[in-house]
Structure 1
């Protein structure tokens, strides 16, 4: 941040009389909402602090640390007494007084954007720290920042300040917001695309490593012949023999490697079991191939929709902030999405669609694209009778995003799981349903 930019911003902020809301919307980002329907975001990341228009920005997650609690308590509908830059440094200081309080209580919010010392600090009238975004103890710095301690001033800056001017602060803030959105969007896309490609590469490697059907069938015939030979020459095999050298049924010499079994009479059973296993694997190989191919297709659709995403909200829908996975989630045979406190189970192929249907409860909500193939989705209600409309719409959007990549209007049917009857595999009949139409926008090329 340049000094003259902060000076222009402080002059602009003096026009506001009320701080309606103060909240943290990212780990190091605060959003201050003022009167006149304006909001400004302050990114306090070390070494890359910036200020931007945050009028339409919403938090992707909730913060409940002591700092966030006090921020909300002290700066909700607070009257702005003064906005200043103490000692002409890169610090914005809001002096406020809570509206309607029984006793007038003044509080200061100090935003420090001085590079290494980026921080948000809440102070009382005497300059004592009430809370801070980052606590600093005496081991880390001469300047202690922790509740109950007086806040020492930063050392004065003696360098040369850059010169410049901002004619339209609102336009400048909006341009900063636009560039920030584009930059964050590309970083999010790159990060999640890397994770998705890693999953695709792993599944493709697994697909390539599947055995050849012809070889499995040949192995099954070989083991069956070896079982017959062993049984035919069982009287010749001694307990310590490691191979049987004989002739096959066509008179050709053959050697059968014998496993170290304690009872030679079990040798025939051993080779017959190997034959059955190889035959079964050959017969069911196409099922495993289809399973892997459909999961690869699922992640490729996600990757394509990720590349087409036009906002962070679209990405957060498919890739919500990391949540600690419980053991029950790790055992789930499907993809799991989170919408607030709700979990959405999504089948990645027919087998997983069947698993999702069979493991859903009667009161859960089932979703599926109308009259076309798609993932089966389940919103786990956990006993709650009403699912918020917003959750239904987001789950329907997940159903669309995991099933198709082409833009258009897609109707999504939804009903209680109790109204869905499995007819064959993942094919179902359902009654008493409603429909939500989700519009999948075409990507606008820049």
Structure 2
């Protein structure tokens, strides 16, 4: 963020009277609605901070940390008292007041666009820190709750002269476009690399699958060894671990066992049974691997066509978030879950997944399916919220991309689950539905 641009933005915002709403919508991203009619995003990333507009923003996560609680309590529906940029500092300070009856609550929020020390700090009227996006201590400053905020001293700022901003709306949109193109390219490459690793591993597993005939051959060998051991078990001592026997064909067969002969015999029969079962179910294992590969192919296509950082995080969250959800029991082999704010969007990866979604969904959940075409089933859990337009768009897009390969325009029907009647398996009839059109790009 350029200092000269920040001064002009400050002058522009000084005409605003109140903050209708403010919240954190990304780890370092803040959404602020001024006067009920203008929404700006403050991106407080250490390497690429800026202030921008994003009309297509999709909220993908709800933040409830102590910082977010203080932010809402102090600034939602507050009156703006002062907006200023300290001299020779890339900081935008906003002073606001909340009045509730006889109580008057004055607070300040400082957006510090200061490189590696970029931060958002909330203080009370006396300048005592109430919360901060990032807490730290160094030789000059201590950003800790309860400490007095030490203002940054003026510094010499060296930057090229910034042009006069004539159209702030166009400026904020251009800032987003520039920032988004850089971020989304980098993040998309990271996500695609993760998927490539998974698909390489799955392809290798598929390639290494043994043939059914080979498994049966191995099972027969284990069974023959077990039969030979069983025939001679009466003359083998319990303590013997190396056993040499002659088969009916006159061949000498050696046994090196770790357990007593009776236990070793059970293990040989068990292994023969396991191999026969694996041979019988080999087609299911192969089908499962192919199904996973098809899933990642569809996910890869969605990621390649994603238009925002938020959409990328919805489609493939960071590993830490994925691990947390697995601990909470969210991992299902036949169902994939996506999260858009408080909405949970689930898609069946195969027929088993579709059936599971239909059986386990509540009557107030929303169901999505391609019109007149066999497709994946998608269920959106709303947590008693009204279904947002963003959730409808994302669920429909997921339904299309996990159902068809060809590009084109597709119609997706959706309705509440209570309007869907299961005929058999994943075959259904439904009423009282709406339809949305989705374009699947080439």
Asked if these proteins are the same fold (TM beyond 0.5), I'd say: yes
Q: Is the 8 A contact 1:123 1:129 kept in 2?
A: yes
1:245-284 Cα distance to aligned partner (Å, 9 max, x none): 3452xxxx523334647457995x7766554443333232
Match of 1:178 in 2: 177
For residue 175 of structure 1, report the CA deviation from its aligned partner. Answer: 0.9
Which string of whole-angstrom CA distances, capped at 9 and with x for unpartnered residues, describes residues 291-331 of structure 1?
11111111111111211223345434433573622353346
| 2:282 pairs with 1:281 | no
The offset of 1:289, in angstroms, is 0.7
1:111 aligns with 2:102: no
Instruction: Mark the runs of 5 or more structure 1 residues left unpaired by the alignment.
Output: none
CA contact (8 A) 2:370 2:412 kept: yes
| Residue equivalent to 1:243 | 244
Show the counterpart of 1:297.
294
User: Are positions 1:163 and 2:161 aligned together?
Assistant: yes
Does residue 209 of the first structure (1) align with residue 212 of the second (2)?
Answer: no
Deviation at 1:378, TM superposition (A): 4.5
The 1:136–1:438 alpha-carbon spacing in structure 2 relative to 1, beyond 3 Å, is same
Q: Secondary structure at the match of 1:203?
A: helix
Q: Is the 8 A contact 1:317 1:398 kept in 2?
A: no
- Structure 1 86/120 Cα, relative in aligned 2: closer, same or farther at 3 Å? same
Find the residue that maps to 1:289 and give its secondary structure.
helix
CA, structure 1 residues 35+58, in 2 after alignment: closer, same or farther (shift >3 Å)?
Answer: farther
**Alignment check: 8 A CA contact 2:62 2:341 kept:** no
Show the counterpart of 1:13: 13
| Local SS of the residue matching 2:181 | helix
Residues 13-412 of structure 1 aligned to structure 2 (within 5 Å): 13-35=13-35, 37-54=37-54, 57=57, 59-98=59-98, 102=102, 106-137=106-137, 140-158=138-156, 160=158, 162-170=160-168, 171-223=170-222, 226=225, 234=232, 238-239=236-237, 240=240, 242-246=243-247, 248=249, 253-258=250-255, 260=257, 262=260, 274-312=271-309, 314-319=311-316, 322=321, 324-325=324-325, 326-330=327-331, 333-341=334-342, 343-356=344-357, 367-379=368-380, 388-390=386-388, 394-405=394-405, 406-412=407-413
Structure scoring higher RCO (CA < 8 A, sep ≥ 6) equals 2
CA distance in 2, matches of 1:37, 1:419: 39
2:300 is paired with a residue whose SS is: helix
Higher-Rg member (1/2): 1
Structure 1 residues 327 and 26, CA gap change in structure 2 (3 angstroms): closer
Contact 1:291 1:351 (C-alpha < 8 Å) held by counterparts: no
CA 262–367 in structure 1, closer or farther in 2 if over 3 Å, else same: same
CA RMSD of aligned residues (A): 3.8
5+ residue gaps, structure 2: none
Which 10-residue stretch deviates more, 67-76 or 233-242?
A: 233-242
Count of residue correspondences: 430
SS of structure 1 residue aligned to 2:161: coil
TM-score normalised by length of structure 2: 0.80
Query: For the Cα contact (< 8 Å) 1:363–1:417, is it kept in 2?
Result: yes
On the 8 A contact 2:351/2:426 being kept in 1, the answer is no
Q: Give the direction of change, closer, same or farther, for the CA distance of 1:380–1:100 in structure 2 (3 Å limit).
A: closer
Q: Distance in 1 between matches of 2:70 and 2:263?
A: 79
C-alpha distance in 2, partners of 1:228/1:64?
65
